[in-house]
Structure 1
Amino acid sequence: MHIAQVDAYLRRLGIEPPAWPTAPTADVLLDLHLRHLRQVPFENLSVHLGEEIVLEEKRLLDKVVGARRGGFCYELNGAFGALLAELGFGVTLLAARVHG
């Protein structure tokens, strides 16, 4: 992810650069997480519109940041994980599913 993409993502979350976090602390993580929950909606419109679902970082950022859309769990977690990693957080993406 380039610095311009980080800045655009942070703007999407309501943070105007250069006032973006520089240290990966628990308080910064909490703030980013709450902002993400409030600004980037869960949505599954792509499924209903027959759009191709691609979980590559560039496509996720294009959708969530560039197109200012939301996404479903894998899309949102992938995009947010990329942002967090770029900001210096340790990120491990895990797969899960609903039981039953």
Structure 2
Amino acid sequence: MTTPHTNRPTFDPDVTSTATGAESCQQTAILLNLCHDFLTTASPATRNELRQFLTNKGIAPHTAVGWLIDMLSLRALNASTCHGHTHTTTP
């Protein structure tokens, strides 16, 4: 089963607590991709609030949101290949 509009595997929170190794990495990748998907489609108000939050944490305001979105995507890719296994987590 896949999530609508992304062609990514669905995420079952009930399995999360027992996941280890490669399965845990796959679930981490799915969570990061969910955050990425949300933020890339968020409203301007949400993005402005996120920008302010990140700026308060010391991240440059003109790059804060883009940086976070890029890092989510990169870390999802890294998590999808941890433990020597490759998982499909991107469209």
Superposition TM-score, scaled by structure 2 size: 0.29
Of the two, which has the highest radius of gyration? 2
Q: Which structure dedicates a bigger proportion of its chain to helix?
A: 2
TM-score of the pair, normalised by structure 1: 0.27
Kindly indicate whether structure 1 or structure 2 has the higher relative contact order, using CA contacts under 8 Å at least 6 residues apart: 2
